[in-house]
Structure 1
Amino acid sequence: MIANPVIVSEERLRALAVESVRLINDLQTEEGAYPASPRFSAYVGYSWLRDGAFIADGMSAVGEAASAERFFDWCARVITARRAQIEEVVARAHAGTPTPDGEMLPTRFTFAGGEGGDDWWDFQLDGYGTWIWALGAHLERAPQDSARWREAVELTVDYLTSSWQRPCYDWWEEHSQHVHGSTLAAISAGLRAALGMAAIDGVRAREARTAIDAIAERIRVEGVHEGHLAKWLGSTAVDASLASALAPFGLVDPASDIGARTLDVLDRHLTVDGGTHRYLGDTFFGGGRWPLLSCFLGLAHHRAGNAARARELWLWAASTATDALELPEQVDGHLLAPGMRQEWIDRWGSVATPLLWSHAMFLRLGAELEGDAR
């Protein structure tokens, strides 16, 4: 429980929800992309598959189907435009001569679908699983034929089934030498969604099932330490992104022994008064607490049956909004590395505010909690 529970009025919660939907709709580009943040220097002009997929899921969960589908259409165009590159990655993987990391698909794109000209920590697999998962979750809420996105789903499945074993950067664009638990959870969820929406069949479906089973086994053997999920395979550490493996990805049942132990460790090691850090040792902008991570942890607690804890985490996230109802990427207070904060400000400016992913996770957990009252 939170030592000093946060109090946010119902009026402000409603206003923040309305503003979150308005902000995301207004900032979504004509191409369908979601900007990560409209003003933060390092993010301006780019849309991430990972962030965008979670934003689309949040919008879908509150009934903004058209916005979510415009993003999925954008994903489909971005991916199908790279058919030849994906086919080469798959062929080289099958031949035993894997494509170098620098030639794999990027994690973020310009709004027009390009790759940009500046260097980035680009090789990340999780976003490719996440966009298919988000599409599948949307189609469960708004049933329709998935044929519109089938080609892109097929190409993405091929890319993931040929590459899932590879080390790559994590959610935080760090530690590229490891295979990360949250990355595997996203890939597994995407492959399961592709099967669930009947967007793949034949050999492709068999390869997806094989990868799903292999991922579960690797997590069981290498991805658990002292009964909880680990930051990467073979690690003893934890990372707040692991909450996604419990919910919404469902790789591990939140009510299982591993799920309960993971929730306990994330609460005790990374969460202070409702605000959740990324991981111990984080120095990015001093290592603050992230509203979106409190919402992920809240989703996992809710799926484990602890709605009260989920609401506490949601209220803390809501409390971080500015007077203009903008949610930041992270907040000051309880910094893990306060001496590093100014270095990042000097490099990139103030913390990203608003961050659309933060607004989306506030909406997503709010929708989950609202379901309890129905």
Structure 2
Amino acid sequence: MPRQLCVGNGNLLVDFDENLNIRDIYFPFVGMENHVNGHFCRLGVWVDGTFSWINETWEKKLNYKEDSLVTEVSLKKPELNLELLIEDCVHNFHNVLLRKIRIRNTSTTEREIKLYFSHDLHLIETDGGITAYYHPELDAIVHFKKNRYFLIGGVSDTDGLDEFAVGVTEFGGLEGTWKDAEDGRLSNNLVAHGSVDSVVSLKAKIAGRKDATVYSWIAAGRSLDEISELSDTIKTVGPERLVRETGKYFENWAKKSEINFGNLPAKIVTMFKRSLLILRTQIDNRGGIIASSDSDILRFNKDTYSYVWPRDGAFVSLGLDAAGYFHVTQRFFNFCGRAISKEGCLYQKYHPDGSWGSTWHPWSNSSRQFQLPIQEDETALVLFSLWNHYYQARDIEFISPLYKQLICKAADFLVKYRDPQTRLPLASYDLWEENRGVSTFTCSAVFGGLKAASKLAGVFGDIQRAEKYDIAASEVKDAILKHLYDDEKGRFLKMLKPDGKNSFIRDTTVDSSVYGVFEFGVLPADDVRVEKTMRAVESALWVKTNVGGVARYQNDYYQQVSRDIEKVPGNPWFICTLWLAEWYIARSELDKGLELLNWIADRASESGVLAEQIHPFTNEPLSVSPLTWSHSTFVLTVIEYLNKLNELKICEKCGLPIYRTKQGRLW
């Protein structure tokens, strides 16, 4: 199930699926140590002798409060005469998931209603060596393993926990203690160890047509003392106040930059702000920006997207900086400064603590000769994004410590990692992480990275380096135009693949990533070569179903749904569709750009979450959801639209640029 709601504070991140099951809890790093790991922490109800877990039989509305990271959820089951109105949030300062649940008794008679919360915690991503027990002084269940502690508590109008149970799960044929809730009674078992889970209940007696509010919480810490202090804080301050504090904090966070949204529809403005907030949940306070916290992808290849790809982080930084969130992106650049290798390149991906992430890129070729297991565009894009950051923030004190450590090391690597004959970058893996070669996207990113490094060197008066990087950038540009543009086809190639005989095979597959030629400044968007290329992208990669959208490239096999390549060249990706929008916007074709922005907003989830890709026939999210790259590209495209709108100075009365004639032609 895709993740419908994400709440977090940079240390603690919690994801909910469409049935409001908690599926992911990350702590103390965002994206590292998933203590649920795709299992289920359920919410259930007992009323009038009937039990029901929240599932597909309930009427559900899952959303967020406006401009906030506090959820707004409505759950109804008419046959039970019951409605639950739920607000979930992770406190902005305290590492606590707070759950406020208003129980509405829609019958005419007084009833006792019980809520059940199950917790299948796989601490440190394991299923053994875990202890769960009831702590009487805290009136809470505690799960712990090593230095990871989770406290589960709650309170109703009149009391704390009603009943509880801890026991064995997923071992010896046992499903789990959560099954104990289904008869409306819990065993009050005091302790269990090994592979364990727990359930707690809260009860409320509610008159007919009235409601009552209960609160539950999960506190995370590194010791019993830490979670005990959090428990004391919750009970002293009160969970209601903590929920209000969180709402107010993120409302103000979302309004950091006062932006004039011009003629943009309300749904795009809402989606813009929601994207910023969702991005914040996926960013660790130590700088790591993960691709996605959705762990369901584990079923596909036994790995996740919960890593820091420098590429994704660079694109997220471009979007956040465009929206004015410089303080958030600075942590990412510092992260890259710590992560950069002695060679001067960044590797495929990292854990949020800075250690290397898993990889499928080999360290040698078929002849057992060493090769760097990299995607070179990742190193280049960090430089490109860092210059963009400085250009807007003008904070020289921030970039000064990064100059030698990150900027010069990375730029020197880009200069050296080139073919002495062609002057193109040497082979590395492409941005899709599938093919090793010399791709148009990577070469364009290297050009953009070298130009950025030249400008940054100029900021520090380092004329020699500025000239060196600028010359190298010019050489890369000339080489791109010479070797990667196909005059016969009238468009840029996807890549040149080494043939093992000191030559290359030309890959003419139409690939959306060639947008990088104009995005990183190799050529302007209105250059005839760019225009022909982007027209080919739109023609060949637009999905010809009622869904629409742009595929990555022809015959994209990843999560492939249809083999009718002419009709469905691949699944529609949000980023690829937005790249087409960026091109139209850069050409001042704002109507077309707005049309594609609307297409994106219409295909987000009810809560505003954007997946990586969608089903070409049903619009259902595919792969991971949310994908930070999707949200950041939406933010960036909106800002580019507004910048172009301001540049064109659209007349409010007629809706045309002020430099158009009555015939509508440009002067």
TM-score of the two chains, using structure 1 as the length reference: 0.83
Task: Measure the CA separation in 2 of the matches of 1:138 and 1:334.
Answer: 39
Task: Measure the CA separation in 2 of the matches of 1:119 and 1:35.
Answer: 18
Does 2:586 correspond to 1:328? no
1:129 to 358, 377, 380: 380
Residues 153 and 199, structure 1, Cα contact 8 Å, conserved in 2: no
Does 2:440 correspond to 1:169? no
- Map of 2:439 onto structure 1: 180
Gaps of 5+ in 2: 1-263, 363-372, 419-424, 497-505, 561-569, 647-667
Task: Measure the CA separation in 2 of the matches of 1:117 and 1:127.
Answer: 16
1:199–1:124 CA distance, 2 compared to 1 (3 A):
farther
2:273 to 5, 18, 43: 18
Q: How far is 1:172 from its partner?
A: 0.4
2:517 to 245, 249, 268: 245
Q: How far is 1:117 from its partner?
A: 4.6
Task: Measure the CA separation in 2 of the matches of 1:350 and 1:238.
Answer: 22
- Map of 1:195 onto structure 2: 454
Deviations 1:333-366 (A, max 9, x none): 169xxxxxxxxxxxxx951100000000000001
Task: Provide the alpha-carbon RMSD of the alignment.
Answer: 2.2
Task: Measure the CA separation in 2 of the matches of 1:213 and 1:10.
Answer: 41
- Map of 2:538 onto structure 1: 267
1:213 to 474, 492, 500: 474
- Map of 2:20 onto structure 1: none
- Give the AA of the match of 1:299: E
- Map of 2:395 onto structure 1: 144
| Matches for 1:1-374 after TM superposition, within 5 Å | 10-40=265-295, 41=298, 42-79=303-340, 82-83=341-342, 85-86=343-344, 105-117=346-358, 119-120=360-361, 122-145=373-396, 146-151=399-404, 152-164=406-418, 165-176=425-436, 178-197=437-456, 198=458, 201=462, 204-225=465-486, 226-233=489-496, 234-247=506-519, 249-272=520-543, 275-286=549-560, 287-333=570-616, 351-374=623-646
SS at match of 2:438: coil
> Alignment identity in percent?
25
SS at match of 1:279: coil
- Give the AA of the match of 1:320: R
Of structures 1 and 2, the larger Rg is shown by 2
Task: Measure the CA separation in 2 of the matches of 1:19 and 1:358.
Answer: 12
- Report which stretch shifted further, 194-203 or 154-163: 194-203
Q: How far is 1:110 from its partner?
A: 0.9
Q: How far is 1:257 from its partner?
A: 1.0
1:154–1:13 CA distance, 2 compared to 1 (3 A):
same
SS at match of 1:46: coil
Residues 339 and 346, structure 2, Cα contact 8 Å, conserved in 1: no
1:199–1:282 CA distance, 2 compared to 1 (3 A):
farther
Deviations 1:183-211 (A, max 9, x none): 00111101101111226735544442332
Gaps of 5+ in 1: 1-8, 87-103, 336-348
Residues 126 and 171, structure 1, Cα contact 8 Å, conserved in 2: yes
Segments of 4+ moved more than 3 angstroms = 40-45, 117-122, 199-207
Deviations 1:235-292 (A, max 9, x none): 3232101112212x11121111111111211111112365111110211011311111
Residues 310 and 346, structure 2, Cα contact 8 Å, conserved in 1: no
Task: Measure the CA separation in 2 of the matches of 1:75 and 1:259.
Answer: 32
Task: Measure the CA separation in 2 of the matches of 1:373 and 1:257.
Answer: 23
- Give the AA of the match of 1:330: Q
Q: Higher helix proportion, which one?
A: 1
Q: How far is 1:214 from its partner?
A: 2.1
Residues 615 and 622, structure 2, Cα contact 8 Å, conserved in 1: no
Deviations 1:100-154 (A, max 9, x none): xxxx752211111111355457421001110110111122212121313202010
The structure with higher relative contact order (CA 8 Å, sep 6+) is 1
SS at match of 1:179: strand
* Aligned pairs, number: 331
Task: Measure the CA separation in 2 of the matches of 1:209 and 1:13.
Answer: 38
Q: Higher strand proportion, which one?
A: 2
SS at match of 1:292: helix
